[in-house]
Structure 1
Amino acid sequence: MARRPDRKRCIIVTVVVVALFIIVLGLVLGLTLRKEPEQFETTFINRCEKFKGYDCNKLWTAFEQAYVGQDPCKVTVEDYDPFIAAASFKPACNRMMFWSKTKDIVHAFTAKNPCFVTLEDTVLGGVADGLTWCGKEGSSETFTTGCPGWSDCENNTVRSFWNKASAAFADAACGNVTAMLNGAVDTPFSSTSIFGSIEMPRFTSPTVKRLNIVLLTQTNSGANCTNASLKELQNTLAKGITYSCSEMTEAQLQQCSSKPCGNCW
């Protein structure tokens, strides 16, 4: 009979320990769930601050208002209009670089060669490059998981953003513009890509004078400048804009990136 109080005491202690564990676990999970939007906002602001002349808090507010509290499949390109207006930038005539299926290569190139500027090298695209985000109806938070993918719905949060940002970047194109395409695929130019369906159709003469295509090729394989898809590109290019195509290997591009500003192709 003398042992029963000890046993009872052990049971009480166990129950208390389990209860405390559950409470602590709940707090940790709660903090983790709240951490996601905070991290996203911090990343956005930190990236924005690398560009001079912008009110990054204002940019964040305009960006967030485009999708927060909304069905992530019902965010239109127009919802990002306030952000696009706040993220306006000075056009870089003769230096603007577009790309399709060459993202990593083109960004490695512009990182070494400041003569050229991609959308992601401006505040317009730099704040969101590589990120995923969305809102949810009835919520004031930003989510970075559980968001619809690019092809899940037409008006999803990320897709609408890049369509709008790409259009704004193309609207600023002037002088000689360059596009880096992938010669390792059968159709370097696709009329359904962002470059083919959104950016290139916005090039108009005389604002844009010339389109230089840099086709990244592989030795003895892939496409070249006579590719049928590039003929289609020429046929759909606005009248008054001249066209050129240069084939380059990655090794040649690396050599070009180390040269001072000038014509590499």
Structure 2
Amino acid sequence: MANYEFSPVSEDRPCCRLSRTVQICLGVGLLILITLIVSLLFIFLWPRSLLVWKGKPTTNHFPEIFLGRCLVYTQILRPEMRDQDCKKILSTFKRAFVSKNPCNITREDYEPLVKLVTQTIPCNTSLFWSKSKDLAHQYTRVQGKMFTLEDTLLGYIADNLTWCGDPSTSDMNYDSCPQWNENCPNNSVSMFWDVISKKFAEAACGVVQVMLNGSLPEPFYKNSIFGSVEVYNLDPSKVHKLQAWVMHSLEAGSSNSCSGSSINELKLIMDKRNITFACQDNHRPVRFVQCVQNPEHPSCRATI
């Protein structure tokens, strides 16, 4: 009988082995996975630099200024609006542009803000302006019953402020913001004024006024906010008449008047929109405001 010897199988020896090719593939796959994870962590966790612009940065202490102006307006200047929630207005305002490229802001981004802030402007009290901001505001402060856009809550809060955000942070950009002419027309500031100017015009009723600068070659400038936004958003069913005041600077004198081609262009637009148009050179009450600063000017002595 033949003798057979059986070699015991070691319990430590695997019953099968992975081929070298499979081992290499698994190693490469693991390396790719680790690299991918590290890359994602780098992208999301590593601090990113802010976009660099040529314009002024967000105004220092912007939230404090915003809340301060809101409280002054709602609690002192217009106490009938004391129920407005200034903190909520600020947070809604910031959501329109923080963490976003400041050149990609849309009108829709500011819609929640204009829906939140409701303000009724009485008929016959809306005063628009173009290239005559300072004089228009001096007049409404003295007159007391008329409203420019900057005499409304949102306009009052934002007047002369700068702001923008950045995709890399949830804070405002205090380093730089885009200029108006920096190939960035849809920036945070311009979109804001575009939206609230449209709402201001839509809400106007009765007889509305516009103050234009007659010391410029074109008192009515069709690319201004008034000429491109507000004029076309006056509601003919509510606005009966647009009264233009063409004001001439005491120092610069007259360059254009109600009879000029620029004003005639505005009249044609109003005619097409079925809104009565009237124009007056150097509206007397506004002239009085100009003369307060220069009472010895010959035209002021004649006025007084």
Q: Above 0.5 in TM-score?
A: yes
The answer for the alignment partner of 1:236 in structure 2 is 269
CA offsets 1:121-161 (integer angstroms, 9 cap, x no match):
01121111000000011211112441001122111110111
> Is 2:85 the partner of 1:55?
yes
Assess, with a 3 A threshold, how the Cα gap between structure 1 residues 100 and 144 changes in structure 2: closer, same or farther. Answer: farther
Unpaired stretches in structure 2, ≥5 consecutive residues? 1-57, 75-80, 293-304
Assess, with a 3 A threshold, how the Cα gap between structure 1 residues 73 and 213 changes in structure 2: closer, same or farther. Answer: same
Alignment RMSD (CA, Å) = 2.1
Assess, with a 3 A threshold, how the Cα gap between structure 1 residues 104 and 144 changes in structure 2: closer, same or farther. Answer: farther
2:158 alignment partner, SS class: coil
**CA displacement at 1:38 relative to structure 2:** 7.3
1:174 to 194, 201, 205: 205
State the number of aligned residues: 222
**CA displacement at 1:178 relative to structure 2:** 0.3
Residue pairs, 1:102-141, within 5 angstroms: 102-141=132-171
Assess, with a 3 A threshold, how the Cα gap between structure 1 residues 66 and 179 changes in structure 2: closer, same or farther. Answer: same
1:68 alignment partner, SS class: coil
The answer for the alignment partner of 1:157 in structure 2 is 188
1:245 alignment partner, SS class: strand
CA offsets 1:214-258 (integer angstroms, 9 cap, x no match):
11024653111001011000111143311111111787241899x
Assess, with a 3 A threshold, how the Cα gap between structure 1 residues 255 and 187 changes in structure 2: closer, same or farther. Answer: closer
Unpaired stretches in structure 1, ≥5 consecutive residues? 1-35, 258-265
**CA displacement at 1:203 relative to structure 2:** 1.2
The answer for the alignment partner of 2:27 in structure 1 is none
Q: TM-score, normalised by structure 2?
A: 0.69
1:209 alignment partner, SS class: strand
2:228 to 184, 194, 197: 197
Residue pairs, 1:32-111, within 5 angstroms: 39-49=61-71, 50-51=73-74, 52=81, 53-111=83-141
The runs of at least 4 consecutive aligned structure 1 residues that moved more than 4 Å come to: none
Q: Percent identity?
A: 37
Distance 2:60 2:249 in 1: 43
Larger Rg belongs to: 2
User: Do 1:109 and 1:253's aligned partners in 2 also have CA atoms closer than 8 Å?
Assistant: no
Mean alpha-carbon deviation: is it higher for 170-179 or for 42-51? 42-51
User: Do 1:181 and 1:215's aligned partners in 2 also have CA atoms closer than 8 Å?
Assistant: yes
User: Do 2:121 and 2:147's aligned partners in 1 also have CA atoms closer than 8 Å?
Assistant: no
Letter in 2 for 1:73: C
2:180 alignment partner, SS class: coil
User: Do 2:102 and 2:164's aligned partners in 1 also have CA atoms closer than 8 Å?
Assistant: yes
Assess, with a 3 A threshold, how the Cα gap between structure 1 residues 235 and 37 changes in structure 2: closer, same or farther. Answer: closer
Distance 2:231 2:160 in 1: 22
